[in-house]
Structure 1
Amino acid sequence: MTNQRGFTLIELVVVIIVLGILAVTAAPKFIDLQTDARIATLKGAKGAIQGANALVYAKAAVNGVEGLDCTDAANAANTGCVAVNSDISIKPVFGSIDASDTDLQAVVELDGGEWDLDDTTTSGTVYITPDGVAVDTASGKPDACQLEYVPATSSVAATYTIEDKGC
């Protein structure tokens, strides 16, 4: 009788199948791709708005209205408060995009089917949420997966805050 050395092919196949089953059942618990994707989209939206604001500020500076609130009726007649380019017409606020969903969608092209833009706050803030995020039924706002955009004021630059705890 000869001594057996090594593993048989059947033993190796059984071990590979068992490892495959363990990997398929355990991997989704360790890899949360949906959360990572939502956070990445929020960071992408933040970058897009920051880049668009830089261009809007440059255009406002060229027109000499970077220090004006073009949404104010007193400044609305200023010819520099009209257009970013031939296709997009917005009214910048101290050289930044106004906190309205229409202006943000026009300049940054945040598709309404993929994003929820809430500009109904009285504080002049826009909450930008990826589509499919759970919303708190009491407040009607997402719990914590959103980009908060506050346009510039006469003394403070525009702010962009990502809240990603609820993604």
Structure 2
Amino acid sequence: MKKQGGFTLIELVVVIVILGILAVTAAPKFLNLQDDAKVSAVKGLAGAMKGAMGITYGKAAVAGEEAKETGYILVDGVSTAVKYGYPTKDTLKNVVDGLDSDWASPVSDADTYGYEGFTGCYVLYTEASLSGGVAVPATVKLLGDNANCN
């Protein structure tokens, strides 16, 4: 007589339980990918803002506007207000492509940029200022409650 080979019901149940345990363990990691992608995109925005600020300051320095509290330079044919050589919060959109159309303010502060409703990571732009007679450069700072944001 020929013996049939196959899996018993208990063996199949054990395999299903093991697969269930693996799925429960791995699922949270995969479900968090969207937040990680948003954090990475916001970090890219912060880098773009810093680069644009540096280029703007360079253009302002060439034009002799870097020491003035209020100055103007041309950026892609658009008159852009600068404060001590850095773009003002109102003209930042002139030097960072897509800032006004692709990004929103995730918190009530109008000087923040990120994903609407996502406070895990966002960018805070602070204009240049004068402190003790010395110009303080504009800053870009990452804020948020996601551990990967900083």
Normalising by structure 1, report the TM-score: 0.64
1:1-80 equivalence runs, <5 A: 10=7, 14=12, 18-31=17-30, 32-70=32-70
Structure 2: state its 5+ residue gaps: none
Q: Given the alignment of the two structures, is residue 107 of structure 1 paired with residue 98 of structure 2, yes or no?
A: no
Partner secondary structure for residue 75 of structure 2: coil
State the partner residue of 2:115: 130
String of CA shifts for 1:78-117, please: whole Å, max 9, x gaps: xxx131232x3311111111112xx222221235454114
In 2: Cα distance, 1:20 partner to 1:69 partner? 64
Contact kept in structure 1, 2:59 and 2:73, CA below 8 Å? no
Residue identity matched to 1:164:
G
Residue identity matched to 1:94:
Y
Residue identity matched to 1:33:
L
Partner secondary structure for residue 147 of structure 1: strand
Share of identical aligned residues, percent?
27
Q: Given the alignment of the two structures, is residue 97 of structure 1 paired with residue 87 of structure 2, yes or no?
A: yes
Q: Given the alignment of the two structures, is residue 161 of structure 1 paired with residue 146 of structure 2, yes or no?
A: no
Residue identity matched to 2:141:
T
In 2: Cα distance, 1:112 partner to 1:9 partner? 63
Partner secondary structure for residue 106 of structure 1: helix
In 1: Cα distance, 2:27 partner to 2:35 partner? 12
Partner secondary structure for residue 89 of structure 1: strand
State the partner residue of 1:147: 123
Q: What is the CA-CA distance between 1:40 and the residue it aligns to?
A: 1.0
The alpha-carbon distance between structure 1 residues 21 and 106, as it changes in their structure 2 partners (threshold 3 A), is farther
Partner secondary structure for residue 89 of structure 2: coil
The alpha-carbon distance between structure 1 residues 112 and 84, as it changes in their structure 2 partners (threshold 3 A), is closer
Q: 1:116 aligns with which of 84, 100, 104?
A: 104
String of CA shifts for 1:44-101, please: whole Å, max 9, x gaps: 111000000011011001101111122xxxx5xxxxx131232x3311111111112x
Number of residue pairs the alignment of both structures matches: 134
- C-alpha root-mean-square deviation of aligned residues, in Å? 3.0
Structure 1: state its 5+ residue gaps: 1-7, 76-80, 134-141
